Structure 1
Amino acid sequence: MKINKYNSLVFAMLFGFGLTSQAQSKQWTLEECVRYALENNITIKLTELDLKTAAIDKKGAIGNYLPSVNANASHSWNIGLNQNITTGLLENQTTQYSSVGASVGVDIYKGLQNQNNLRRANLSIVAAKYQLLKMQEDISLNVASAFLQILSNKEDLKVKKEQLAIDEKRFARSEEMVNAGTIPRGDLFDLKATVATDKQNIAVSENNLLISKLSLAQLLQLKEFADFDVVDDNKLEDQNNILAQSPIEIYDKAKEIRTDLKLAQTNLEIAEKNVVIAKGAYQPTLSAFYNFNTRASYSDIITGSTLNTANPTSQIGYVQGTNQPVLRDNYSSVLGNAQPIFDQFNDNKGQSFGLQLSVPIFNGFSARNNVERNKVNLEKSKIDLEQKSLDLQRNVYTAFTDAKAALNTYEASTVTLEARQQAYNYAKEKYDVGLMNSFDFTQAQTLLTNAQSDVIRTKYDYMFKIKILEFYFGIPIVPIITK
């Protein structure tokens, strides 16, 4: 117990500057806290990125309708023993080649997968929007809970300080009475212990208040939170008269507007579309293609021929009967530089185009297994939607019952506080005239303090239960603007 007490005191000292400067800092209203959280909370920002990812996926689905166009170019060197394209002989040489090409492909029919992928992408965007809205609603409730906790801790600290002030006055008066011999000195020791206990309770309450402020500041993603504070809004009223509605009316309204159900329904539609896309793999695909290419060589070319003067003729045979030799003239090729590269590109152009049909026959059961897998996911989505509907009904009835019970508890604690206050006043009168000892009076005072704490606790518990019930009825803390 001592360790926890000392830790609390040290924690309070570390942020003591924040507590002393609260009067000069901005005080946040509940609406301001919620709006700030919706704009700056990290979890919401991550969910917004999921929405952007879904939009990118839609662009990809649209791109599947468009033809694919690719261009290519290459330049190569062949070094060593390779065929001379001019003479046809194998020679040790270095040759260079350049080639340029382009290709176009387009899907004509693909089992309607492109169309279904686009429909699924549109549904994914809707689901991402619902997910973002759900996250915003959850953060709003969390902020409201943290905000009300701060108010509750503030009132609790106020009660503890008022109690300390009363006990310190009693202690000072009792010292005078002891000195006068009116009351025994033992009563003074009891009061001294009571004052010390009051100070300890204040330290705990200050620590609880500081922790609740830090919790809300973290929800808001505030970097400077040493002097963070909220407006002391202690209004307790059912402004929208939500308890006048019946549970079935609230449930019917919740079924129309609750984001949980809309998200589950959209996920079901996505699962149905996934099954259709998977079945598209059973169907043949037809695509069209067009290719263009051209090339150029940097090798010398034959521009003509000339008689070989060193060896002008060569014998190729004999005349039958006379054995007279048959000669032929020997010509040598005249080599020239390669044609200009752009002329070669123009002369060597080639094109090809056609259709390609692919019919799935057997693929290791991959297509069938994919269909079965998506059917299982579809069943899961159906069960999830049904479960969400049942959960919503249970949550609405539970929230309504909790709100009613919280109201009754608050009203009962208020009556108890009034009775405890009267009992305390009566005990104080008896104590002041010496008809009640210090121990019995302290007991009456403790009962009053407990009653005051119960009123504070039940008050803010009721306020939060009303916020939850309004949430199911479609009344947000602040209007949420969907993107």
Structure 2
Amino acid sequence: MKLVNTHKLLFSILFVLNLSLLQAQEVWTLQQCIDSAEMYNKKLQISNLDVKSSLQQERVVKGNRIPKLNLNADYKYFTDLPYQLMPMSVFGGPEGQFKEAQFGVPHHLNADLTLAIPIYNPELYGNIKTTKVATELTRIQNLKSKEEVFFEVSTVYYNAQILAQSLDFIDSNIINAKQLLKNVELLQSQELLTGTDVNRARLKLMQLEKERESAFTKYENVMNVLKFLMGKSLQAEIEIDKTINFQKIENYETGTSLSVQLAESRNELLQTQINTLQKTRFLPSLNAFASYGTTGYGYDQEPNRFLNFYPKGLAGIQLTMPLFNGMVSKREVVKKQLEIDASKLQIQMSQDQTDLNIENALKEKNNANQNKELVEKQLELAESIYSQTVLQHKEGIVPLSDVIMAETEVNKAQMEYLATIIEYLKADLKLKKESGNLLK
């Protein structure tokens, strides 16, 4: 019975370990990395909070249109009642002479409800339009942040793919180098080759091992950057899909890039601000108000102690007309107009920059597509030459240096092949971004 329980326990432990290993070796596609970044990237989280904050600010400003109702209450105790001067002529005295007198009671209470209703306020309605445009600007900035993060994730992912493929190529070359070293050592033992040839083969193997160590360090660094962009811990174990799928991608319909949209939105914000300034310079504001409450007076000395309350109420309309404020508004309008002129130039510059980037991306994409076919042929030829050179070396026709040179050409062709594919994918990625299609 104990043996059966032990077997069950061992099976459970092995199952958990295997499950953990499978989770640790989970392969992440590019889309999964982008989805993780969209959810956990801190830059995007901050940007999302900015959007929510902007929406709340818009609600705050709109709330100023709603009538305001306040309850006010106060109590005053006068240790010394205020003095007033009474003309003595009231009591039959001479003209131009006054006598001080204290009026009132020491206890004074006041409570009332006040209602304020904005009927028309050009600054308020201008601010509402401004915050609405500012919210749209924040939304576009959020999309721009997403675009930048998605672009960075894709670029880093492609870099990780090419490094992973490079490691596979290097590992394959190390296997070939070890086999070559083994063959050379065998030929040396048969006194068919000199020790120099063996040292050359051993040196080539050492160089490949050093190259692999350097490539692996670069791969780890790139993977750490990818984890950071994804919002993952640097200690997380993730693996990317090393397969680099090449397929010819058609060009995209050109839309308005987010850079241009951002510049246009900033210009619109400046336009609403200057419109508000123009209106507040000349248009009046009109507000209605009302108040209703009670006032209490009290006296605490015997035998005439009392506390009496008296109602009070009022309603009215207030008109405020701007006449002169020291030319402040005029100078603000001039300043804002200069900012608008600069903003228009910024829109033109953003559009020109976008057109330039699209043109360059198209050329890079077409060039990479043309180079791919040429590089494929070069790789096939280099591999064929290497295979023939190895056979000729075994037959003693060519020296070891020719084998090493042929292998170097294979390595070079392999890296050029990978670089061409990645160059194509990066050019396509840049084209998607500049044409406004990256987030679609």
- Fold conserved (TM > 0.5)? yes
Q: 1:274 deviation in Å?
A: 0.9
The answer to whether the 8 Å contact 2:41/2:230 transfers is: yes
Alignment correspondent of 2:126: 116
Give the secondary structure class of the aligned counterpart of 1:222.
Answer: coil
Alignment correspondent of 1:163: 173
AA at the equivalent of 1:104? L
Alignment correspondent of 2:350: 388
Q: 2:112 aligns with which of 101, 109, 129?
A: 101
Q: 1:225 deviation in Å?
A: 4.0
Q: Equivalents in 1 of 2:138, 2:206: separation in Å?
A: 56
Q: Equivalents in 2 of 1:154, 1:232: separation in Å?
A: 6
The answer to whether the 8 Å contact 1:22/1:227 transfers is: no
AA at the equivalent of 2:281? Y
Give the secondary structure class of the aligned counterpart of 1:237.
Answer: coil
Measured on the aligned residues, the alpha-carbon RMSD in Å equals 2.7
The structure-2 alpha-carbon separation of the partners of 1:474 and 1:90, relative to structure 1 and needing over 3 Å to count, comes to: closer
The answer to whether the 8 Å contact 1:143/1:216 transfers is: yes
The structure-2 alpha-carbon separation of the partners of 1:445 and 1:229, relative to structure 1 and needing over 3 Å to count, comes to: same
1:19-40 deviation per Cα after TM superposition (whole angstroms, max 9, x unaligned):
x968952111111111111121
Q: 1:391 deviation in Å?
A: 1.4
Q: Equivalents in 2 of 1:272, 1:475: separation in Å?
A: 28
Q: Equivalents in 2 of 1:207, 1:300: separation in Å?
A: 90
Q: 2:206 aligns with which of 164, 179, 196?
A: 196
Q: Which range moves more in the overlay, 46-55 or 262-271? A: 262-271
Alignment correspondent of 2:159: 149
The answer to whether the 8 Å contact 2:24/2:238 transfers is: no
The answer to whether the 8 Å contact 1:21/1:227 transfers is: no
The answer to whether the 8 Å contact 1:278/1:374 transfers is: no
Q: Equivalents in 2 of 1:89, 1:373: separation in Å?
A: 58
Note if 1:453 corresponds to 2:431. no
Alignment correspondent of 1:279: 278
Alignment correspondent of 1:317: none
Q: How does 1:315-334 map to 2 (within 5 A)?
A: none
Q: Equivalents in 2 of 1:21, 1:400: separation in Å?
A: 43
AA at the equivalent of 2:51? L
The answer to whether the 8 Å contact 1:288/1:356 transfers is: yes
AA at the equivalent of 1:186? T
Q: 1:355 deviation in Å?
A: 2.7
Note if 1:132 corresponds to 2:142. yes
1:237-294 deviation per Cα after TM superposition (whole angstroms, max 9, x unaligned):
02x423xxxxxxx5xx323x43232332222222211111011221232322223343
Q: Equivalents in 2 of 1:183, 1:102: separation in Å?
A: 109
Give the secondary structure class of the aligned counterpart of 2:115.
Answer: strand
Structure 2: runs of 5+ lacking an equivalent: 1-19, 85-99
Q: Equivalents in 2 of 1:266, 1:161: separation in Å?
A: 53
Q: Equivalents in 2 of 1:475, 1:158: separation in Å?
A: 33
Alignment correspondent of 2:360: 398
Q: 2:387 aligns with which of 407, 425, 432?
A: 425
Note if 1:210 corresponds to 2:172. no
Q: 1:452 deviation in Å?
A: 1.1
Q: 1:373 aligns with which of 323, 329, 335?
A: 335
Q: Equivalents in 2 of 1:146, 1:83: separation in Å?
A: 80
Alignment correspondent of 1:4: none
Q: Equivalents in 2 of 1:30, 1:116: separation in Å?
A: 45
Give the secondary structure class of the aligned counterpart of 1:335.
Answer: coil
Q: 1:196 deviation in Å?
A: 1.0
AA at the equivalent of 2:237? D
Give the secondary structure class of the aligned counterpart of 2:254.
Answer: helix
Count matched residues.
404
The answer to whether the 8 Å contact 2:295/2:312 transfers is: no
Alignment correspondent of 1:353: 315
Note if 1:50 corresponds to 2:59. no
Q: Equivalents in 2 of 1:134, 1:83: separation in Å?
A: 66
Q: Structure 2 length as normaliser, TM-score? A: 0.84
Give the secondary structure class of the aligned counterpart of 2:296.
Answer: strand
Alignment correspondent of 2:250: 241
Q: Equivalents in 1 of 2:210, 2:349: separation in Å?
A: 49
Q: 1:152 deviation in Å?
A: 0.7
AA at the equivalent of 2:45? K
Q: Structure 1 length as normaliser, TM-score? A: 0.77
